[in-house]
Structure 1
């Protein structure tokens, strides 16, 4: 896996691939390169020195493009960047974080394909690259050999998604625990666009969320959740959305799907048994929710990931 650091690279996002994929032990060989092998300025007050030049891209199975200072970006690819990208073998998996999608789009690699980038840059992206099917409202887009993500934290989500698809939930969950981040957020989940941060003392649903996670097998109602938080249903729903960006019902469904995925991968329980364990009424309900979330049936999912 090659990480391509461009001029003006964002240091935090540059470190995401190693932070996530290195947690998978020796399953990946990671290395960082630049388009000419020379140091690049970050968008902070330091430069980044790497051990590799663009020749690394010739042998990579996956290439990650972290974001960079968009003041350096135009609708046409920088000649040096275009030359480096031309070294990538056909079929290589391409992964972009935030403004990294601008590089792929400028090279024509996203034409007529779905993609995302940071919501605040959507208008500029559409203006520069009208052929791309941009969806600025999601955390990441997996289009097979090209995957794009929104800003900062969604880069972690996308890397965990890749790790999960490559090596299963146990490995991805281990990486998430080491990074102290949620092990799974659905790529279709909305970006937190201008989401207000609750004032100090105004939050109050975290303890209830932990309480609910231990009781997913039960049919939890809004009134029951609000009662646990000692709030009215209306106040609880409003604060829950302020803190998570979702309604309590949608959040519960996502947690149930996430737990079902883990049980499908890690146990031999039947689909009916798993449905009961995670709080869906029956196997039919589980199939519907899983298909809505990731587009496959429970048995197809198990065949794909249980071996990993």
Structure 2
């Protein structure tokens, strides 16, 4: 079964696909023959990172015997996500798995969806806890901040000016990581100066242009940290064909397929990420467990997540996938996403 991508053209349209849930034996899966539909709502469509997470969602759905739909806007903005949330609620989907473009702006729409009986799981980028049932976090905020600072420090020799190329100014996850990086720079990296934070809005051309502007504005810049897969690829693309290749380090969070050529040509030494396929897989497993009534989102509850094993719900309904993984020339050929 293939997932369905639906793009907004004024009003969101959600295709009501359903597949009979596995009947199974005993109390597995909450029982019953009800049709179960899980709607995936990434920040925006056409983003390789979210394409990988939706592939993971589809893998989980195939195992669970449920239907997965992918819907979403072209542009990563909270206003653009709201119509999709509203339509999902109106269609009565069982679960909505969303990467939030803003922690509060989509809250009212999510509350209405929950009131209509839709379970809400955030993944990748969270809302305020009251707006959802669970948050499937790719890694701890501290772990992500620490890894990015560790990488940039190693690559610039522990001193010099750096800049951050983020996604949108309202992205919950980006802002949390940046705040922690700012704190840790002051306490743990006194010889590294953060000179500017800019926003590429998870758009390739905007991120490319922001990279050019950073390098023009800061002639002594030694490194760029981009905690977004679109941004790091755009920054690497600019640096790879410029006078700054080999002089300005580029690191952050990226996918192996996007970054392979830049690692191979020496533009990028190393970068980090988790596996977005696993993230989408886990989010869908968690959504199915909520729909089945196996968990409610309370701290301490456990559920089985297929090939990933057992997970425990933490404080504020958070489920943690794991720690960031570093990709470099020694291992990047082993991955294909």
TM category (shorter chain) comes to: 0.3 to 0.5
Structure with the higher strand share, 1 or 2:
2
* Higher relative contact order, structure no. (Cα contacts within 8 Å, ≥ 6 residues apart): 2
| Structure with higher helix content | 1
**TM-score, normalised by the number of residues in structure 2:** 0.31
